[in-house]
């Protein structure tokens, strides 16, 4: 079926969605390809743009397309399987998936952390942390927005080292920590705040995968508390057995 059929008892938006889904699943619309605009589709199917928008919303729910603010709607590429285990490493995960990555450091600061962060790191209420905020890309697509906290007294000057290495593992190694393990992971689906949505180029009404984690040294002492907001469009979390 390539055109809609009026009067057959099936909503027009549903028919349009089925036609476009068929184009995607059969490869006539390729992964990453931008779909025609709502106006172009409305003209093609001789419907109003509201009907087209309902069809596109249905395709998003089926994870067949994604919408980027200010750019358009694209055929959804295959998601990345991001492994979470006792030794979760972003760079290693991306290397295993054979994708090109880069990390952008947005901000770093020395500050008194929120009570939740202090408790997770085992710090007193007046002890400082370094906060580092980043975004990461895989094959050019933003896949996460992260905030990491490190005890400032234990790791003096950490932000400068992290800016040089752009690696948590290499940074901690320079402080004599050759290994660390994931002590705690909590995953939930949450709506992003305006800041995260803007960075990840997605609407605020589309959930992200919200991961809270604690990494600890071999003695079990916390060295990092992290909050990572993964794009549900690009990342699928895979919980691994202990390694």
Q: In CATH, what number is assigned to the domain containing residue 199?
A: 3.40.1410.10
Task: Looking at the structure, tell me whether residues 138 and 49 fall in a common domain.
Answer: no
Domain boundary among 75, 100, 120: 75
Residue 6 lies in a domain: no
Task: Looking at the structure, tell me whether residues 71 and 93 fall in a common domain.
Answer: no
Task: Looking at the structure, tell me whether residues 86 and 157 fall in a common domain.
Answer: yes
pLDDT tens for residues 109-162? 999 999 999 999 999 999 999 999 999 998 888 899 999 999 999 999 999 999
**For position 227, what pLDDT does the model report?**
97
Task: Looking at the structure, tell me whether residues 39 and 22 fall in a common domain.
Answer: yes
Query: What is the distance between the alpha carbons of residues 31 and 64, in angstroms, rounded to a whole number?
Result: 9
Query: What is the distance between the alpha carbons of residues 207 and 151, in angstroms, rounded to a whole number?
Result: 30
The contacts found for 70-76 with CB under 8 angstroms, 24 or more apart, are: 70/201, 71/34, 71/201, 72/34, 72/35, 72/37, 73/34, 73/35, 74/32, 74/33, 74/34, 74/35, 75/24, 75/29, 75/30, 75/31, 75/32, 75/33, 75/35, 76/31, 76/233
- What's the mean pLDDT in 161-176? 96
Q: Is the pTM of this model over 0.85?
A: no
Task: Looking at the structure, tell me whether residues 105 and 69 fall in a common domain.
Answer: no
Half-sphere exposure of 161 (CA within 13 A, CB side): 16
Task: Looking at the structure, tell me whether residues 84 and 50 fall in a common domain.
Answer: no
Tell me how many domains the chain contains: 2
Q: In CATH, what number is assigned to the domain containing residue 29?
A: 1.10.10.10
What's the domain range around 106? 80-239
Task: Looking at the structure, tell me whether residues 90 and 45 fall in a common domain.
Answer: no
For residue 80, what pLDDT band results from cuts at 50, 70 and 90? confident
**For position 241, what pLDDT does the model report?**
64
Task: Looking at the structure, tell me whether residues 103 and 46 fall in a common domain.
Answer: no
Percent of the chain with pLDDT over 70: 98
Task: Looking at the structure, tell me whether residues 90 and 150 fall in a common domain.
Answer: yes
pLDDT for residue 181 is more than 90: yes
According to DSSP, the residues that pair with 184 across neighbouring strands are 214
Beta carbons within 8 Å of 29's beta carbon, 6+ residues apart: 20, 23, 35, 75
Place of tokens 């370094």: 130
């Amino acid at each position: 079926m390539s055109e809609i059929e009026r009067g057959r008892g099936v909503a027009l938006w549903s028919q349009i969605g089925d036609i476009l889904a068929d184009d995607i699943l059969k490869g006539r619309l390729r992964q990453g390809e931008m779909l025609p605009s709502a106006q172009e589709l409305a003209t093609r199917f001789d419907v109003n743009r509201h009907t087209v928008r309902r069809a596109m919303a249905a395709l998003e729910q089926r994870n067949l397309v994604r919408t980027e603010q200010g750019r358009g709607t694209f055929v959804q590429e295959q998601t990345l399987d991001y492994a979470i285990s006792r030794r979760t490493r972003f760079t290693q995960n991306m290397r295993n998936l054979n994708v090109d990555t880069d990390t952008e450091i947005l901000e770093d600061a020395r500050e008194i952390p929120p009570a939740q962060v202090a408790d997770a790191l085992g710090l007193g209420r007046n002890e400082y942390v370094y906060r580092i905020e980043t975004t990461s890309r895989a094959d050019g697509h933003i896949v996460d927005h992260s905030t990491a906290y490190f005890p400032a007294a234990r790791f003096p000057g950490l932000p400068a080292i992290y800016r040089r290495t752009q690696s948590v593992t290499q940074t901690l190694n320079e402080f004599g920590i050759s290994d660390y393990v994931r002590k705690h992971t909590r995953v939930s689906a949450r709506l992003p705040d305006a800041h995260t949505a803007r960075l990840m180029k997605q609407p605020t009404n589309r959930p992200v995968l919200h991961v809270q984690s604690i990494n600890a040294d071999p003695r079990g002492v916390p060295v990092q508390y992290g909050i990572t907001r993964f794009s549900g469009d690009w990342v699928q979390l895979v919980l691994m057995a202990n390694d």
